Amino acid sequence: MFEGLKNKLGLGKKKTPAPETEVPAPAAHTIAKPEPEEKKAPGFLNKIKTLVVEHEFVLSEKDIEESLFELQMVLLESDVAYPVAEAITEHMKKELVGTHRKLRESADDVVTDALRHAIEKVLGEGFDLVSYIKNHEKPVKILFTGVNGTGKTTSVAKIAHYLQSQGLSVVVGAGDTFRAGAIEQIRVHCERLGIKLIAHQEGADPSAVLYDTVEYAKAHKTDVVLADSAGRFHNRVNLMNQLEKIKRVMKPDLVFYVDEAVAGNDAVIRAEEFEKTVSTDGVILTKVDMDPKGGAAISIAYTIGKPLVFLGVGQGYDDMKPFTPSLIIDEIFGDD
């Protein structure tokens, strides 16, 4: 994942230094040919690096203005939303401008560290769900919502598996009662994982299903309720009204919005519009491993001001990873 962004930034490729060799003095009566001027690879990183020469000086805003503009263009081409690309370049400017660069300080390190720090600030710290659950009154009720077809139901199963692996007891509520096969889909997952499922018949009131799920959790002293719900769009009034009813009845402690990274800027726009209609507490991004550019994962949390909680990076139950900034940054920068 993030290969497109990584390649455009020219990152992730370890350079092998050429071995130092002693050059003999030219023989008498010979004329040493001038060495051909080394060609610099294109790209904003190389443009900024050429400014970091082997003596101490101070970078000015004018020095790096053109290079930062080029960086912004690279980010936009990689599906990073415009406000986010602006934020990254602004963070880089603050770190680079006015800072003394010392004798023989590595230009690669100077620029790469500034970009890494800028992306860290944009991504945020994420959200430690396990700590939240352990320190909160039980059961912790989590409602999953978002656009249809983004992997929401499968994400519920994967997160249930993850929470079980952390020693927490889980019950799942089959609140998507309208999509054909949705109840059976979550039932198969729960049977495979050995997780209790509360479900009614197809077409039932999802609020009633999730009310029963919460009551089961209370009676059995279960740590976490994971509530699936039907996919919806922010402009579908009837579905949004239904979601409001679910929230009134279930009283969730957390509402997580689920979307897919491969949607690129569409995912960012959807998340922003959805947040205006239904307040959420965090974002789960699926299909991150299939995103050729990587921009949505960087953009979505910054745009709506809510933390990334999990990233789906594969098809297996273990492929739902708790978000940390390093999960994305190390992939972009090619760190081991």
| CATH number, domain containing residue 226 | 3.40.50.300
| C-beta atoms surrounding 219 within 10 Å | 8
Whole-number average pLDDT of the chain: 80
Residue 157, marked binder: no
- Identify whether residues 73 and 194 lie together within a single domain: no
- Identify whether residues 271 and 234 lie together within a single domain: yes
Residue 265, marked binder: no
Residue 229, marked binder: yes
- Identify whether residues 152 and 112 lie together within a single domain: no
pLDDT tens-place string over residues 159-193: 999 999 999 999 999 999 888 789 999 999 999 99
Residue 148, marked binder: yes
Residue 167, marked binder: no
Residue 113, marked binder: no
250 within 8 A of 144, measured Cβ to Cβ: no
Residue 289, marked binder: yes
- Identify whether residues 145 and 258 lie together within a single domain: yes
What mean pLDDT is predicted for residues 286-297? 76
Residue 79, marked binder: no
Q: What is the rounded CA–CA span in Å between residue 7 and residue 13? A: 9
- Contacts of residue 205, Cβ cutoff 8 Å, sequence gap at least 6: 177
Does 4 fall in a domain?
Answer: no
Does 29 fall in a domain?
Answer: no
Residue 146, marked binder: yes
Of 123, 147, 163, the residue that ends a domain is 123
Of 123, 139, 162, the residue that ends a domain is 123
- Identify whether residues 148 and 272 lie together within a single domain: yes
Q: For position 101, which CATH number holds?
A: 1.20.120.140
Q: What share of the chain is helix, strand, coil (3-state, %, to 5)?
A: 50, 10, 40
Residue 149, marked binder: yes
Q: What is the rounded CA–CA span in Å between residue 216 and residue 265? A: 40
Buried b (16+ CB within 10 A) or exposed e, 278-292: bebbbbbbbbbbebe
pLDDT at 18: 46
For the chain, how many structural domains are there in total?
A: 2
pTM (predicted TM-score):
0.79
Q: In one letter, which amino acid is 331?
A: E
Check residues 132 and 48 and name the one with the higher pLDDT.
132
Residue 46, marked binder: no
84 within 8 A of 299, measured Cβ to Cβ: yes
Q: What is the rounded CA–CA span in Å between residue 196 and residue 151? A: 20
- Contacts of residue 103, Cβ cutoff 8 Å, sequence gap at least 6: 54, 55, 56
- Contacts of residue 101, Cβ cutoff 8 Å, sequence gap at least 6: 52, 56, 57, 58, 59, 110
159 within 8 A of 190, measured Cβ to Cβ: no
pLDDT at 107: 59
- Percent of the chain at pLDDT exceeding 90: 35
Of 123, 141, 168, the residue that ends a domain is 123
Domain span including residue 143: 129-333
